[in-house]
Structure 1
Amino acid sequence: MGNRGEGLMLGTSLWQGAAILTLANFLNKILSFVYRILIIRLIGPESMGLYEMVFPFYTFVLVVATAGLPVALAKLVAERAARGEWGLVRNIFHLSLIFLIISGLVFTVILYFGAPFLGRLFADSRVYPAFMVMLVALPLVCTCSAFRGYFQGLKLMGPLALAQVVEQVIRVTSGLSLALYFLPRGIEWAAAGLAWGMVLGEGVGLIISLLIFRQASPYYLAGEAHPLFLKDFLTLARLAIPATLARAATGFTLTLEALLIPHRLQAWGASLREATALYGQYSGIALTLVYLPMTITVAVAMAMVPGMAEAQALENYSLLQRRSFQALRITVLSGLPFAISFLFLATEISDIIFRTPEAGVPLKVLAWGCLFLYLQQTTSGILQGLGAMKTALYTTLVDGAVDLLVIYFLTPLWGIKGAAWGVNLGALLSTSLNLKAINRLINLRFNLLELFGRPCLAALMMGLSIKLLQKITWGIGWRELTGLLLMGGMIYMVTLLLTRALPSRLLVFWKRI
């Protein structure tokens, strides 16, 4: 076993990497947030609804085409790098890259010829131009995902974060420009312009990934070369197949939601155009707001994959437990203030930011369950880092089944509120199952008061202060909303410090562990 790479230093530490990714995700969320505001104000929620209808199907196809390899690749690279097996690191990356390039091209050709039939599955036939444009991005994203899994496994989070930010800037600027350019031709062509922005962003992302790979060549060239064996394929497949099925189940669920919700809204009594607009408010506004805290949870989940794999490879079980608990606590502390803000200020936030106060209806419902969405993501990252891909698949299937069943039965009764409750209940059940599995795998015992009790007390104080300040505020505009959020956030932080729910070591987020 050649170990010429043992002296190489990997990228950032676990929490430094998470902090870097959090900053990148935060910038991307701001860009995406402004992007959606401008789209809805300049083009309208109907165009956003068309784009959001086809995007889940594209995501589903992308998940199937990438076959779960990026996550499996990140775990295997982290494990082998921790043991200094650099030749095997090169093997697994080379194998993944070849597969993903071929897969991206094959799926693009299949969908191109099947597009006329697939277009009939959507509730609104005007999604066809955007669907055709999105196909161009498939081979680019598949190829790029191999590099990103490799960088993630090596914990090269800085260059990876830079690539994500640049890609988002290109996507936002070109997407809005092209949507406005095509708008005179119709709403459907404006949605296609948004899709072209995504294609251009992915193309730039691939170019940057190639440049990063060139700079990271010492990792790739370290160690003795090894021929590819059947064992390499089986090792990759053992992790990739259940990861693929889990991500495909998520994409399939989102696709069915995009198809099902407009139809069930029509059963509720809405017209086709009203259903499309309602779905745009729900998916393009309410869920966009709920996903804001995922700037942190996405970073934590990504850091967990190599972090847990590394500790597992070294058989350091105390480190596994400590990293898991810290990830859960960061998720709870960062997610609760958003949940409270959405619960008490749903209509005001939707009105002031998007000029669509109606989106406050699903947003207020989602506020009751959004913390479980955030914990679901973090716990899935922990399970993937532990190699428990089958468990993650099982909980994902449970989440999707509950979500779709609630949407089907409650949307005709409660309208868009029924769809929102489907998301809440699915996330609650899957998060509970994930926590149970993590406890079984690494004997994770935690103090409920420390993890939930004190943060919930701080969140309650924040909510009461917002409610009180609302009563003495004459009308709410930008300034008043900002003031309410800042005052609520300050009270939340002060309460956390007074109850010692926020240890000093968590304030130094980039601390090495």
Structure 2
Amino acid sequence: MATTSIWQGAAVLMLASLLNRILSFGYRMLVVRYIGAEGMGLYEMVFPFYSLVLMVATAGVPVALAKLTAERVALGQWGKVRSVFRLSLLFLTASGLLASLVLWRLAPVLTGRMFADSRVYQAFMVMLLALPVVCVCSAFRGYFQGWQLMRPVALAQVIEQFVRVSAGLFLGIYLLPYGVAMAAAGLAAGMVLGEVAGLGISMLIFNMARPYHDLAVGQASSLRVDILPLTRLAIPVMLARVAGGIMLTLEALLIPRQLQAWGVTVSEATTIYGQYAGIAFTLIYLPMVITVALAIAMVPAIAEARAIGDFELLNKRCRQALKLTIYSSLPFAIAFYLFASPICNLVFATPGAGIPLKILAWGCIFIYLEQTTVGILNGLGAMPTILWTTLAGGIVDLLGIYYLTPIMGITGAALGVNLGAALTAILNLLALARLTGFRLDFRTFIYWPAVAGAGMFLGASLLWVLLAAAPDLWRLLQSLAGSGLLYLLILLGGGEITPAHFYLFPWPGHRNGK
């Protein structure tokens, strides 16, 4: 079986994620322009609850499936690969259908009492149709990830997003004359059609990949044998994700209240929180195109190395993932710190959002490291560890917000988030060291990032001053481009990155960088 390297597999997912983000950004702009903020608001009111239900319905099974598949592929246990996929598919189909049926019966009560606007009912009912589809699709994606076949996953994501955007916009505009609630239902219907398209592509690729899963023909394996390992891995994943979702919900409820305790009105608190969550964090999430891809790619890559007992390969992959995370996220941290207000002003016409963005810049590397280390620990099967580190970081996050926001305003909330992310990332790194013996060497992970980061910081500051007469947009772009190029040249000169790192796909004669 030919699989992409960890760099190439992650790169494919990065490109897909980047394209999806561009489509999503354009989609939101068009929806607000043609349907209005009210219709988007009704849709967005339902979506977080839908996401939480999906976390429970999938129960962490896709991650567990990817890990078990990778291990069994590495050991040539084809019958067990086949059986764990069948068990996962059966469970996810049943859980998706059950969740939809239960919520279908509870819909009148939930939409009438839980949501602030009962007009979400139509969008809520339509969105329920996507639950079983997403659950089934997640089984195929977990299977592909286990084989380290990232291109099918990326292709399904892009097609799903394209259908969602085009169908959602068309149906939303078409149904708008029947009321804003029906327009929101049209947006939800676009999401359902997108998920159906993603599932169709996944099933098509699965059938085309018969040479892989037909290797199990003639090898008997009982489904019962897989229930215990699948459950043991899946439940902590689900609990960690649900805990993270609950922490984010509590954070969203707590910050506006504590801002009022700081001394602003309800309206002012809502505005400040909107700048923090809707603008500052939107920018902070940009580098997650890289870390999300890495987290997905690391699960099967680490599980495979551990299954065959190749700890040298395991440590090499840990090193690659953490190195890519730090080296790619550091320029964003520097840019967000130096140019927080100009970026927020030019992109969102809201320079006030630069206040929390500047503070979040100090801790954003920990946010990105947290995501990458979670992928590595999932590959190691350390799901309970992830649960506890997530809870520990979340508690510190909430305590920081609770005590610091009334004293420092939104700056205190951002500091609380930084402290929580730093604790989780450090605990994850300590767990990784304990489980594998991996260590962050000084030269690669401290010295060269500090040297390159200092070079970029000084270069960006100097260019910003020298280009004072230029228009704001060109001044910002040239400062970022020039200092970013200096950052790359320093790392290239130090030998920490090589031209081979920029090859996204296999190329004759090149080898993966260290």
- What's 1:395 paired with? 389
**Judging changes above 3 Å, is the alpha-carbon distance between structure 1 residues 156 and 483 closer, same or farther for their aligned structure 2 residues?**
same
Distance 1:352 1:121 in 2: 37
- Given candidates 141, 145, 148, the residue that maps to 2:141 is 148
Q: Name the aligned partner's letter for residue 206 of structure 1.
A: L
2:330 aligned with 1:349 = no
1:377 Cα deviation after fit: 0.8
2:74 aligned with 1:79 = no
Distance 1:488 1:19 in 2: 24
- Given candidates 231, 245, 251, the residue that maps to 2:239 is 245
1:486 Cα deviation after fit: 1.3
Moved more, 110-119 or 419-428: 110-119
1:141 Cα deviation after fit: 1.1
Distance 1:195 1:38 in 2: 15
- What's 1:423 paired with? 417
- What's 1:290 paired with? 284
Considering Cα pairs closer than 8 Å and 6+ residues apart, tell me whether 1 or 2 has the greater RCO.
1
2:477 aligned with 1:482 = yes
1:476 Cα deviation after fit: 4.6
Provide the secondary structure at the position in 1 that maps to 2:339: helix
1:326 Cα deviation after fit: 1.1
Count of residues in correspondence between the two structures: 505
Distance 1:310 1:451 in 2: 25
Provide the secondary structure at the position in 2 that maps to 1:27: helix
- Given candidates 74, 81, 84, the residue that maps to 1:89 is 81
1:213 Cα deviation after fit: 1.2
Q: Is the 8 A contact 1:123 1:259 kept in 2?
A: no
- Given candidates 402, 405, 415, the residue that maps to 1:408 is 402
1:430 Cα deviation after fit: 0.4
**Judging changes above 3 Å, is the alpha-carbon distance between structure 1 residues 261 and 136 closer, same or farther for their aligned structure 2 residues?**
farther
- What's 2:190 paired with? 197
What are the Cα deviations for residues 232-260 of structure 1, in whole angstroms up to 9, with x where unaligned? Answer: 10011111111111111112222333444
Q: Name the aligned partner's letter for residue 230 of structure 2.
A: L
- Percent identical across equivalent pairs? 57
**Judging changes above 3 Å, is the alpha-carbon distance between structure 1 residues 229 and 200 closer, same or farther for their aligned structure 2 residues?**
closer
1:104 Cα deviation after fit: 0.9
Q: Name the aligned partner's letter for residue 321 of structure 1.
A: N
Provide the secondary structure at the position in 2 that maps to 1:159: helix
Q: Is the 8 A contact 1:466 1:484 kept in 2?
A: yes
What are the Cα deviations for residues 384-438 of structure 1, in whole angstroms up to 9, with x where unaligned? Answer: 1111111111111112222223333444444444443333221110000000011
Q: Is the 8 A contact 1:461 1:492 kept in 2?
A: yes
**Judging changes above 3 Å, is the alpha-carbon distance between structure 1 residues 77 and 40 closer, same or farther for their aligned structure 2 residues?**
same
Q: How does 1:22-37 map to 2 (within 5 A)?
A: 22-37=14-29
Question: With structure 1 as the length reference, what TM-score do the two structures score?
Answer: 0.89
**Judging changes above 3 Å, is the alpha-carbon distance between structure 1 residues 503 and 94 closer, same or farther for their aligned structure 2 residues?**
same
Distance 2:32 2:59 in 1: 34
**Judging changes above 3 Å, is the alpha-carbon distance between structure 1 residues 126 and 207 closer, same or farther for their aligned structure 2 residues?**
same
Moved more, 335-344 or 11-20: 11-20
**Judging changes above 3 Å, is the alpha-carbon distance between structure 1 residues 282 and 188 closer, same or farther for their aligned structure 2 residues?**
farther
- Given candidates 166, 190, 207, the residue that maps to 1:214 is 207
1:178 Cα deviation after fit: 4.8
Distance 1:268 1:198 in 2: 40
Distance 1:48 1:421 in 2: 31
1:348 Cα deviation after fit: 2.1
1:488 Cα deviation after fit: 2.1
Provide the secondary structure at the position in 2 that maps to 1:250: helix
2:180 aligned with 1:169 = no
- What's 1:372 paired with? 366
Distance 2:265 2:182 in 1: 22
- What's 2:296 paired with? 302
Q: Is the 8 A contact 1:308 1:382 kept in 2?
A: yes
2:97 aligned with 1:105 = yes
Q: Is the 8 A contact 1:40 1:354 kept in 2?
A: no
**Judging changes above 3 Å, is the alpha-carbon distance between structure 1 residues 356 and 49 closer, same or farther for their aligned structure 2 residues?**
farther
**Judging changes above 3 Å, is the alpha-carbon distance between structure 1 residues 353 and 130 closer, same or farther for their aligned structure 2 residues?**
farther
**Judging changes above 3 Å, is the alpha-carbon distance between structure 1 residues 140 and 211 closer, same or farther for their aligned structure 2 residues?**
same
1:339 Cα deviation after fit: 1.1
**Judging changes above 3 Å, is the alpha-carbon distance between structure 1 residues 178 and 328 closer, same or farther for their aligned structure 2 residues?**
same
- What's 2:494 paired with? 499
Moved more, 68-77 or 236-245: 236-245
Distance 1:383 1:289 in 2: 26
1:217 Cα deviation after fit: 2.1
